[in-house]
Amino acid sequence: MLRPLPLLTTLVLVGPVLFGLIGSILPASGLLMQSAETPFATALSWPGLPRALAISILSGVLSTLGALAVATLILAGWHGTRAFAVLERALSPLLAVPHAAAALGLAFLVSPSGWIFRIPANLLGWDRAPDLLILGDPWGLSLTAGLIAKETPFLLLMMLAAMGQADAGPRMAIARSLGQGRVAAWLKAVFPTIYAQVRLPVLVVLVFGMTNVDVAIILGPSTPTTLAVQVTRWMTDPDLAARAVAAAGGLILFAATLAVLALWWLGERAIGSVGRAWVWSGIGLPDRAARGVGLTLAGGSAAMVLAGLAALAVWSVAARWAFPDMLPEALTWRSWMRFGPDMAQTALTTLGLAVTATAVSLLLVIGCLEAEVRHGLSLGQRALWLLYLPLLVPQVTFLPGLQLLPLTLGIGPSIWLVLAGHIVFVLPYVFLSLQGPFRAWDGRLARVAAGLGTSQNRVLWRLRLPMLVSPVLTAVAVGMAVSIGQYLTTLLLGGGRVTTLVTEAVALSSGGDRRAIGVWGLGQAVAALLPFALALGVPAIVFRNRRGLRHV
Amino acid sequence: MRFALTLLAALALPTLSPAQTQPDPADWPAVTAQADGQTVYWHAWGGSTATNDFIGWVADRAGEMGVDLRHVKLTDTADAVGVVVNELQAGVTEGGSVDMIWINGANFASMKRENLLFGPFAEQLPNWRYVDVDGKGVLTDFTVPTEGFESPWAMAQLVFVHDSARVETPPTSAAKLLEWAQANPGRFTYPQPPDFLGTTFLKQMLIELTDDPARLSEPVGDDYDDVTFILWDYLDQLQPLLWRQGRAYPESGPRQFQLINDGEVDIAISFSPGEATTAIGNFELPESVRTYVLDGGTIGNASFVAIPVNANAKAGAMVVADILLSPEAQARAQDPAVLGYGTVLDMAKLSPEDRAVFDALDLGIATLTPTQLGTALPEPHPTWATRLADDWVARYGVAD
């Protein structure tokens, strides 16, 4: 029964991407749309291209390096301490916060008229905000900072999920006994194993950083924008020929992504050999400084995002609130009365989609992994890359083409298509979250059980899955957060008819009504937060008397 | 591969309705009969919460006629155009997903040129008899004749919004604006073209500066550089005096209001004379905000709704278009507590009771009277908007 599952899963993932790519390549080469003559030449001659591409690459690479460094430092320096437990509790909810909401909160916080600048404004009596270019700086540094703050919790959670299998305790003990400091010991003895497990999530972060649209619109530069934002603009240009240019732009971005991925791979090699030399050299690290930097950066970014969310919460109940007041003149429930009922209804659709997409994905993923165990039907390393295609091919490259595919089959936009689209993106994340812990589960337990006469099904249900309940729930929470955050997928495959919390929030963000954004942003954050609360809470309760399974 | 396709197909229940007979706009009872029970997907910009609430109210009215009106909230009208184009490319000539679009200007011109619109229907709507056909310029849209392919529902006119607590005598011409900016650097900006409001600012300044505004009603020609030279010269002087020295711009009109409220700028522009009053009521602007127009007048145009040629619920869409033209809906749209949009109706054609409703409207503290607004200047031909926006992006939108 399990045998067809790996193939089916691969097809579900790869089919849409391939069709989407074809749907982009044809118009980009001037085949599908007659009105566009030379889409590639037009895209290449766009005067902002070098700069836009540079910002895309810069913000993608820097934000990935930054998020990886912060997550690593905090895990290396503080794992197992009380400070870490506090920080983990503060960071995990941030993962669930929708990108757009987090970015809008941050924007209010750091802009020259925002909360931070209002402190000196009140002390020094400014009645006008200083004219400083903080948001949307030409090199995308605020964009990079915002992405780091948002991606650190994701990588941290992924690394934590891998920790259970990393054998960190004994390795640390040996490294420490050889005179290594805490951070150096972790980096030398534990990090290589962890990185091997979270490598694909890191690459996904890299691709997302280079190609995201919603964060870049809010925090990124506008003269010019990142290439992904410009592609979206072309896609929505009144001049219909621009759609073909958008397809070409999407493919250029795709090529750049491939090049960066290749460079990253080379970088991994280089750092691998340098690191090996470092391990053998026995040279340590300034432990105290490294721990301090890690805690400051992680704590700082958590504090910023949380303060941004607090700002959104205050805006959602604010009456008149002008510069330089720290708080609104009065509080009112008017915004919640006005937008709340609509939001509750949309939240139901959103959660319904998220639960269904995650359930289907989880079934496929566990089926695949179990087929691997029972029948040796491994997807193999190359097929595995195909599996991550939907995450590694930029959404702006293949979604427009994907919108055309169902139409050619006579299928109009519908909630079922949106669900199918969500599965395409949720499945890889569930797979990413679960495969490491699932494969790393100690197979000797299964052999012992089989030796005692236990069937394979019983091993799965009574032994493997219960022991893996923590990573399974993490995978569910990640899957739901991904579904809840799907913007372009929902918009394009639903033809705009399927509204979820994120499509509403992004539609509102162009209008800049902070009160409405506050209500919708908080609603989305809460919707995505619940599964994470469960992922943390359930294992703690189930394993209250199983210390070794708690991994935390 | 085929398996994945089948799976996709199986997941997507057939949603396209069977082909229906084309409604005949002239036979209104048949239209309303066919509309009963239809679901109309109205693709309209969703960035303004006041507009969204008004569309919700229209949906209630439509419900009374048996039409289920759903607002598909767009960040950009061109998204809806794209959906129609994609569908037609894929051979979906009936039962398409877009039933009605809030549209004007370049989007209308391109849809009409490509034969993507259903019609003519507008002049057969029962409430068309109230429309101010001569005075409001609803028969052309950015100089392109509408010919019944779109139905008007609101009037817009460019107004300048200023915080009277910070600006005592607001600048009322292009030259005065530059002077004011020199005295108050960093306190003015405009939405970044190709945003329609930002592009409108460029057109307004071009009309102000050029010697021959009539030239703009014709399509762009070889004399483009000669006509627009004076505008670029002006903008080159203005740019370093803008908010953030012109290195960043607000992305939309409402975003500028936020900047005024945040104390970052003192003057903004709006395409809806009542928007500022509405925003004050929603706490989005300080109570000291007022509006004004330039000495030489400002650009005005009408907002329309159009029905794509492959719309699924054409009859339902016509019913909604007719509701939008009803005196009740028009008075509600003009009420600054709701929307503050100008009406497209001719007061002289209304019944005394309906006229009384309009007369009783309190336009609000920051809304100019029709007399103060003056006659709106005509929109240039749509080719100017496109060309100016492209040129602006090349000059100021890509840095270096």
Candidates B17, B49, B81, B189, partner chain A, best to mutate (most A CBs within 10 A)? B49
pTM: 0.81
Q: What is the largest CA-CA distance in chain A?
A: 79
How do strand B100-103 and strand B140-141 relate by DSSP bridges? unpaired
Q: Which pLDDT score, from 0 to 100, does residue B104 have?
A: 82
CATH 3.30.1380 matches A61-219+259-332: no
Q: Answer yes or no: do B227 and B84 share one domain.
A: no
**CB-closest option in A240, A322, A324 to B110:** A240
Residue found under tokens 């089989």:
A450
Residue A242 near residue A46 (C-beta atoms within 8 A):
no
**For B93, nearest residue in chain A (alpha carbons):** A410
Q: Answer yes or no: do B245 and B390 share one domain.
A: yes
Q: Tell me, yes or no, whether B244 lies in a domain.
A: yes
Q: Answer yes or no: do B294 and B340 share one domain.
A: no
Mean pLDDT, rounded, for B144-165: 94
The torsion defined by the Cα of B133, B138, B139 and B142, in degrees rounded to 10, comes to 150
Q: Answer yes or no: do B286 and B384 share one domain.
A: yes
As a CATH number, domain A1-23+333-552 is 1.10.3720.10
Q: Tell me, yes or no, whether B3 lies in a domain.
A: no
**For B248, nearest residue in chain A (alpha carbons):** A222
Q: Answer yes or no: do B320 and B266 share one domain.
A: no
Q: Answer yes or no: do B256 and B292 share one domain.
A: yes
Mean pLDDT of chain A: 85
Candidates B262, B284, B285, B387, partner chain A, best to mutate (most A CBs within 10 A)? B262
Q: Which pLDDT score, from 0 to 100, does residue B11 have?
A: 40
Task: Tell me which residue of A166, A163, A186, A191 sits closest to A176, measured CA to CA.
Answer: A186
Contact between A510 and B47 using a beta-carbon 8 Å cutoff: yes
How confident is residue A379, by pLDDT bands cut at 50, 70 and 90? low
A25-28: long-range contacts, CB 8 A cutoff, minimum separation 24: A25/A247, A25/A251, A25/A401, A26/A401, A27/A243, A27/A244, A27/A247, A28/A244, A28/A247, A28/A248, A28/A250, A28/A251
Q: Which pLDDT score, from 0 to 100, does residue B14 have?
A: 38
- The pLDDT tens digits for A170-188 are 998 998 898 888 899 999 9
- A335 burial (CB, 10 Å; 0-12 / 13-18 / 19+) is buried
Mean pLDDT, rounded, for B378-396: 91
Contact between B92 and A412 using a beta-carbon 8 Å cutoff: yes
Candidates B72, B116, B164, partner chain A, best to mutate (most A CBs within 10 A)? B72
Give me the number of domains chain B comprises: 2
Contact between B264 and A323 using a beta-carbon 8 Å cutoff: yes
Cα separation of A323 and A315, whole Å? Answer: 13
Residue found under tokens 């690290």:
A285
- The pLDDT tens digits for B305-317 are 999 999 999 999 9
Residue B384 near residue B220 (C-beta atoms within 8 A):
yes
State residue A113 phi and psi, 5-degree precision. -110, 15
Residue found under tokens 């926006």:
B389
Residue B301 near residue A337 (C-beta atoms within 8 A):
no
Measure the CA angle with vertex A361, ends A355 and A362; round to 5°.
Answer: 85
Q: Tell me, yes or no, whether B194 lies in a domain.
A: yes
CATH number where B238 lies: 3.40.190.10
Q: Tell me, yes or no, whether B182 lies in a domain.
A: yes
**For A416, nearest residue in chain B (alpha carbons):** B12
Q: Tell me, yes or no, whether B8 lies in a domain.
A: no
Q: Tell me, yes or no, whether B6 lies in a domain.
A: no
Domain span at B101? 20-153+302-366
**CB-closest option in A217, A236, A508 to B79:** A236
Q: Which pLDDT score, from 0 to 100, does residue A356 have?
A: 96
Residue B43 belongs to what H/E stretch? Answer: strand B39-45
Q: Tell me, yes or no, whether B336 lies in a domain.
A: yes
**What does R_g of chain B's alpha carbons equal in angstroms?**
22
Q: Which residues of B touch A239 (CB under 8 A)?
A: 106, 110, 386
State residue A512 phi and psi, 5-degree precision. 75, 20
Mean pLDDT, rounded, for B312-334: 95
How confident is residue A551, by pLDDT bands cut at 50, 70 and 90? low
Residue B15 in this model has a pLDDT that exceeds 60: no
- The pLDDT tens digits for A204-223 are 899 999 998 878 888 888 88
Q: What is the largest CA-CA distance in chain B?
A: 70
Mean pLDDT of chain B: 88
- Work out the end-to-end distance of chain A between its first and last CA atoms, rounded to an integer number of angstroms: 36
Identify which has the larger pLDDT, A127 or B146.
Answer: B146
Q: Which residues of B touch A508 (CB under 8 A)?
A: 46-47, 49
Question: What does the block give as tokens for A426?
Answer: 């949720």
- The pLDDT tens digits for A135-174 are 888 889 999 999 999 899 889 888 887 787 778 889 989 9
Q: Answer yes or no: do B388 and B257 share one domain.
A: yes
Residue A498 near residue A349 (C-beta atoms within 8 A):
yes
Task: Judge whether A1-23+333-552 and A61-219+259-332 match in fold.
Answer: yes
**CB-closest option in B53, B86, B263 to A324:** B263
Contact between A495 and B76 using a beta-carbon 8 Å cutoff: no
Q: Answer yes or no: do B250 and B387 share one domain.
A: yes
Q: Tell me, yes or no, whether B381 lies in a domain.
A: yes
Domain boundaries, chain A: 1-23+333-552, 61-219+259-332
Q: Answer yes or no: do B84 and B182 share one domain.
A: no
